Amino acid sequence: MSNVSRQTVRAYLVERAGTEPTYLRAREIAGDLDGSPKAVAQYLSQLQDELVDVSLEQWSRSKSTTWRVETSES
């Protein structure tokens, strides 16, 4: 079972988001947070529509989904 929580993933995304897009994969985030890539991928899908200050978008699906993360323009 993964020890990473939805709030942890949310905080990670907010911290990593900048004015320039950042491209991340669940596997990379899970490695940084010492969690399960499967759990992180599930949280990313859930957080996609919830985040207000951060834009999270599925960008590419080759071997795994790449997520585009950046600060939302207000």
Tokens for 60, please give them: 């590419």
> Is residue 59 in a domain?
yes
SS3 4: coil
* Domain count for the chain: 1
> Is residue 1 in a domain?
no
Per-residue pLDDT of the chain (74 residues), as tens digits, is 467 899 999 999 999 998 889 999 999 999 999 999 999 999 999 999 888 889 999 887 777 789 999 997 65
> Is residue 54 in a domain?
yes
Residue type, 7: Q
The pTM for the full model equals 0.85
Residue 52, domain extent? 6-71
The domain that contains 33 carries what CATH number? 1.10.10
Please provide residue 58's backbone torsions phi and psi, each rounded to the nearest 5 degrees: -65, 125
